[in-house]
Amino acid sequence: MDNKIKKIWRICLICLTVLGAFSMAGAQSEFKDTPYFTGMPSYKIGDASDQEFADYRFYNGKDCTTVEGKKHHRAYTLRENAKQASELQISRNYANAVKNMGGTIVFEGECSGADCAENCGYRMMVGKVIKGGNELWVEIVPFNGGGDYYLTVIVKEAMKQDVTASSMLDALNRDGHIALYINFDTGKSTIKPESKPIINQIVEMLKANPKLNIGVEGHTDNVGNPKSNKTLSDDRAKAVVSAIVAQGIDAKRLSAVGYGQDKPIADNKTEEGRAKNRRVELVKK
């Protein structure tokens, strides 16, 4: 009888061990590396987050560059009984990866005195890469002597905006104007495909409100020549009007004007501010 009990206990222990192994495997595979940079072989992901659109301040050696876009964050920790790399090794490993991708090192060393940087006070490596038409920014922050490190990646994207015909009308009736972030090809007045839904909503609003007339105003940041910025903003305002008219709206209900960099709504000293200043405004007439 005792032998039977012992056999049952052995079977139970085996089952628990197998279940534990599956559980551990599941835990280890819960997180995945970013699509652009993988973890070092001796390290595993302890935490991870992905955001469709966020901003992050990267230290550039003097102050911070704010980059907006798709954000990937990974926290790596040393595997049990694995060989630990030094903080310099971790930083240099990713610096070499950035260089091999044809990128540039924005900063490498210990950050100090920059309150704008989330991880200032630690060694860090900040890199910038152009890959597949995307601009990637990466920050590596090793700590605990190399036992842990953070990896943060931003895939830079233009500011996006989800607007509806009703929300635009509400803003026009309430404030008399609304700022829209319609994306154009760099240095041109060609409206990018991802901004066509905004044009469609403007058309829908105008069709539903036949007595509504609007002015379309183009605005830029202060990068470049003021005269060329004025011309570019004017061309972009006209391009928006043309796109609206092409969908059946009477051109007499619309007007276009460009103000270039003369009417900022945010600080042009920061990337975030410049992004807000690059806009098209609708004004109720």
Give the pLDDT confidence of 106-125 residue by residue, as tens digits: 999 999 999 999 999 999 99
What integer pLDDT is reported at residue 95 of this predicted model?
A: 97
pTM to 2 decimal places: 0.55
Assess whether pLDDT exceeds 90 at residue 158. no
What integer pLDDT is reported at residue 194 of this predicted model?
A: 85
Average pLDDT over residues 76-85: 96
Burial of 111 (C-beta count, 10 Å sphere; 0-12/13-18/19+): buried
Assess whether pLDDT exceeds 60 at residue 2. no
Average pLDDT over residues 248-255: 97
The mean of the pLDDT values for the chain is 88
Q: Mind listing the domains of the chain with CATH numbers?
A: 32-156 (no CATH), 165-284 (3.30.1330.60)
- Sheet containing 104-110: which strands, arranged edge to edge? 43-59, 64-78, 148-156, 134-143, 123-131, 104-110
Average pLDDT over residues 153-159: 82
Average pLDDT over residues 250-276: 91
Which candidate, 127, 121, 86, 85, places its Cα nearest to that of 106? 127
d(CA 7, CA 41): 40
Amino acid at 110: E
Asked if 149 contacts 140 with a C-beta cutoff of 8 angstroms, the reply is yes
Give the pLDDT confidence of 218-228 residue by residue, as tens digits: 999 998 899 99
What integer pLDDT is reported at residue 22 of this predicted model?
A: 34
Q: How confident is residue 19, by pLDDT bands cut at 50, 70 and 90? A: very low
